[in-house]
């Protein structure tokens, strides 16, 4: 299934691995947090982790800081726990890998997710796929909150009085806006 990332759909190079499946050497696979914990040897390869809805990892103890991909599941789009998990990953742990939303991911929530540090989306909802396919993403261009580190790909203008700090932060991050 294609993944929405950086303003376009791209082919997904990752595959979710069942808990009893053996990982092919070098393949990009996603495992459950239990498996990630119980098989530390996985952590050196191209292995991402999927979190169930509401699952909170101990990022440091679990050695997730350098993981290339963390997938956060939204069992229902009204379950907002994933926003807090993503934001803590970016802000507290300076997580640099991909944060991907999966599950009940809908068009009107994607801008909010971008602002919380998500940068990739696995989408099954037809009208959402169609809208994004035409380049349509109906978020607000303005925000009272400063952008979360890592969400710099999403363009927002914050309060003028905070703008100077935003500019400084973006220069530190070394990135422009999408």
Partner 1 sequence: MYRYDEFDAAFVRSRTAQFRDQVARRLAGEISEEQFRPLRLHNGLYLQLHAYMLRVAIPYGVLSARQLEQLARIARKHDRGYGHFTTRTNIQFHWARLEETPDVLDLLADVDMHAIQTSGNCIRNTTTDPYAGVAIDEIEDPRVWAEIIRQWSTVHPEFLFLPRKFKIAITGAAEDRAAILYHDIGMRIVKGKGGETGFAIYVGGGQGRTPYVAEELRSFLPKEQLLSYLEAIMRVYNLHGRRDNLYKSRIKVLVKALGIEEFRRQVEEEWSKIDHVSIDLPQEEYDRIAAYFAPLPLVPGPITDAGVEKRRREDASFDSWVRNNVLPHRVAGHVIVNILLKEPGKVPGDATADQMEAVAALARAYGHDEIRVTYQQNLVLPNVALVDLVKVYDGLVAAGVAVGNYELITDIISCPGLDYCNLANARSIPVALEIAKRFADQSVAEDIGRLRLNVSGCINACGHHHSGNIGILGVDKKGTEHYQITLGGSPGDDAEVGTILGPSFPAEAVPDAIETIVATYRAHRREGEVFLATYRRIGQAPFKEALYGAPNSGASSRKQLQEA
What distance in Å separates the CA atoms of residue 147 and residue 89, rounded to the nearest whole number? 14
Kindly determine how many residues on this chain lie close enough to bind partner 1 according to the rule CB under 8 A: 39
- Contacting partner 1 within 15-34 (CB under 8 A): none
Sequence-distant (6+) residues with CB within 8 A of 113 are 82, 83, 86, 101, 105, 121
Residue 35 or 90 having the CB closest to partner 1? 90
* Member of 47, 64, 72, 116 binding partner 1 (CB under 8 A): 116
112 counts as binding partner 1 under rule CB under 8 A: yes
Least distance in angstroms from the C-beta of 45 to partner 1: 30
The piece of 14-22, 27-35, 36-44, 135-143 that touches partner 1 (CB under 8 A) is 135-143
- Contacting partner 1 within 47-76 (CB under 8 A): 54, 56
First-to-last alpha carbon distance for the chain, in angstroms, is 23
* Member of 15, 52, 96, 165 binding partner 1 (CB under 8 A): 165
The piece of 10-18, 24-32, 42-50, 134-142 that touches partner 1 (CB under 8 A) is 134-142
* Member of 159, 168, 173, 177 binding partner 1 (CB under 8 A): 159
Please report, as ranges, the residues that interact with partner 1 according to CB under 8 A.
Answer: 54, 56, 77-81, 83-85, 87-88, 91-92, 106, 108-109, 111-113, 115-116, 127, 131, 138-146, 157, 159-162, 165
């Amino acid at each position: 299934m294609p993944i929405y990332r950086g303003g376009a759909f791209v082919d997904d190079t990752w595959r979710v691995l069942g808990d009893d499946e053996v990982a092919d050497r070098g393949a990009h696979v996603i495992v459950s947090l239990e498996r990630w914990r119980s098989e530390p040897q996985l952590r050196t390869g191209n292995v991402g982790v999927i979190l169930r809805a509401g699952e909170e990892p101990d990022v440091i103890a679990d050695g997730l800081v350098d993981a290339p991909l963390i997938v956060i599941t939204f069992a229902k789009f009204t379950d907002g726990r994933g926003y807090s998990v993503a934001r803590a990953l970016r802000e507290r742990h300076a997580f640099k890998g991909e944060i991907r939303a999966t599950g009940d991911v809908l068009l009107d929530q994607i801008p909010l997710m971008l602002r919380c540090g998500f940068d990739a989306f696995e989408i099954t909802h037809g009208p959402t796929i169609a809208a994004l396919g035409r380049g349509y993403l109906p978020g607000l261009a303005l925000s009272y909150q400063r952008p979360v580190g890592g969400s710099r790909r999403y363009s927002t203008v914050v309060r003028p009085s905070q703008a100077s700090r935003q500019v400084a932060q973006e220069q530190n991050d070394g990135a422009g806006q999408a």
